[in-house]
Structure 1
């Protein structure tokens, strides 16, 4: 097992789309991260869930738009390579998505980035939720 926290099973990451989770940085700031499929090893990449152009979220709860192996910004259409994070078109041309280190082993994805700690699945606004079935 790699050093790190299990985020999800590989099967949880859609072939076209993304798996969103929330992590905290060293200052306890919540940061949304997306997992996307990539044809290069390890087969899954993790990127901060924000376009480099105007801080637009790629995945707002229904998965990021992926076209021909590129993550599409829903606001201006800039496209980022799902494997490298590089953008060569639109308003974000010449930038790269900030990556988050993950490892894939035995069908699971682990957060291995020392700059982040896994908080919960879903977006920052989703929160871990209540496990109680009692309503008042």
Structure 2
């Protein structure tokens, strides 16, 4: 492991519902990552998923709006596919039978740390090239 970087607190993720940050991957590309609370048997868990629907690379989290989370799942705003917050797996809609790519994190003493050796933390919030503020490119926008 190449070290760790403190991202935020579990309390912040739980209070905000989701939390977004940007990393640089091994291909030197900026990648947005979504932290979501995971209600499992242990409680207080947080998971990290790449902020992109597996169906059409649609962002799940949009600046100023956040991500729609319903019944333990992150909802794609374009087609409604639902990704389990704990496993990243989708069993419905156009993204069915796929799983969101994960980013390794750890939780210690209520703090969330980036521990994935394949990425480097850049910033809290969206990537700087995220200039599409018009929302999903569809005629049906989900608001939950």
Same-fold status (TM-score > 0.5): yes
1:16–1:37 CA contact under 8 A, matched in 2: no
What is the TM-score with the length of structure 2 in the denominator? 0.81
Aligned to 2:84: 81
For residues 16-55 of structure 1, what are the structure 2 equivalents within 5 Å? 17-40=17-40, 41=42, 43-55=45-57
Indicate the SS of the match to 1:13.
helix
Deviation at 1:67, TM superposition (A): 0.4
State the superposition RMSD in angstroms: 1.7
Aligned residues: 125
What is the TM-score with the length of structure 1 in the denominator? 0.86
Aligned to 1:92: 95
- 1:69-103 deviation line (CA, Å, top 9, x unaligned): 00000000000100000100000001000011100
Aligned to 1:102: 105
- Give the direction of change, closer, same or farther, for the CA distance of 1:15–1:126 in structure 2 (3 Å limit): farther
Whose strand fraction is larger, Structure 1's or Structure 2's?
2
Query: Which blocks of at least 5 consecutive residues in structure 1 are unaligned?
Result: 128-136
